[in-house]
Amino acid sequence: SFDRALVVDDAQTAAMLVANRFHFENNCAILSADRRYPAGGTFETILQMLGRNPNLIVCTLHDASFEGLTLAARLRAADWFPDFHTRIADLGLTP
């Protein structure tokens, strides 16, 4: 299980990070906020696995759009990381 997760704004960014082995070098799961990465039914499995870690640290990486700026808040929704103990760090761009 991963102790960290990186949630990016789209599947293309997630795929680029994985292609460059970011997840291996930083020992973290990479998910896309559009829920298209990882594909093949593994998205929900990984999300459930991460949700069982009480020490999970989640980071967000996004652009300066409205959707990007609200990403960290959206991750607190019931179907992402509703546990208020989960630390979420916003690493994205701001205007």
For residue 59 the two structure tokens come to: 């980071």
Alpha carbon distance 49, 62 (integer Å): 23
Supply φ then ψ for residue 59, to 5 degrees.
-115, 145
Global confidence as pTM: 0.91
pLDDT digits (tens), the chain, 95 positions: 788 999 999 999 999 999 999 999 999 999 999 999 999 889 999 998 998 888 999 999 999 999 999 999 999 877 888 777 788 999 999 88
